[in-house]
Chains A and B, each alone.
Chain A
Amino acid sequence: EVQLVESGGGLVQPGRSLKLSCAASGFTFSNYYMAWVRQAPKKGLEWVATISTSGSRTYYPDSVKGRFTISRDNAKSSLYLQMNSLKSEDTATYYCARGLIMYTTDYPAYWGQGTLVTVSS
């Protein structure tokens, strides 16, 4: 069974940093693209970052480019999101998600339960 468990969320002041983690199990982690998707309170879904199977390619929307860094450790079956220079508008539940098909970026098919990040002074 595919399992994705996020951790690392919490309350952080504007301008500070936070690192999220996602522990994966139930599948061969190194075979899948992974992504982070966020959802602000009572708002819709927003794609945040995608990383290739090896970690050599990463992709971001303009809203987080230059501030967020997605990375992975295939030996530990873990995904990470380093978030710097946090803003109040980054307040959201952050989901870790796995692609549907191996070796390609496609649809986030399996999701964790999310971790809440609150950016506030």
Chain B
Amino acid sequence: IQLTQSPSLLSASVGDRVTLSCKGSQNINNYLAWYQQKLGEAPKLLIYKTNSLQTGIPSRFSGSGSGTDYTLTISSLHSEDLATYYCYQYNNGWTFGGGTKLELK
């Protein structure tokens, strides 16, 4: 399964509601996760099984979707959320999306 993330670059302001998209080439059956990676750091798991929040992750992060289309939403952008976000599926093999870089407008 191939994962396509859009947009590849997103400019937003602190306080904005931000939506990132991930589309699979086949049905992912909700086995979809989201990761945050800051510069020079290892990725961090934010959301798993489409909409389950990993322990310690702020509630402003949420996930949704089904079938081939999934979304990560940040309800109110904080400056520390500036990072690259990757989606990941393991319904059929293991695949990461190409990433969405989130930057300050």
Contact = CB atoms under 8 A, between A and B. Distances in A.
Contact of B96 (A46, A100, A113): A46
Interface stretch (B19-27, B64-72, B87-95): B87-95
Interface in A52-85: 59, 61
B94 A35 contact: yes
A56 to B, nearest CB: 18
Contact of A47 (B31, B48, B95): B95
Interface residues of B, number: 20
Contacts of A100: 45, 48, 54
Interface of A: 35, 37, 44-47, 50, 59, 61, 95, 100, 105-114
A100 B98 CA distance: 22
A95 B94 contact: no
B49 to A, nearest CB: 8
Contact of A112 (B42, B44, B45): B42
Interface string B73-95: 00000000000001010100111
Interface string B40-51: 001111001000
Interface of B: 31, 33, 35, 37, 42-45, 48, 54, 86, 88, 90, 93-99
Given A44-B86, A45-B86, A61-B93, A109 B45 contact: yes
Nearest first, the 10 closest Cβ-Cβ pairs linking A and B are A111-B42, A47-B94, A45-B96, A107-B33, A107-B48, A44-B99, A109-B45, A44-B98, A45-B86, A113-B42
Nearest to A101: B48
A48 to B, nearest CB: 9
Contacts of B31: 106
A109 to B, nearest CB: 5
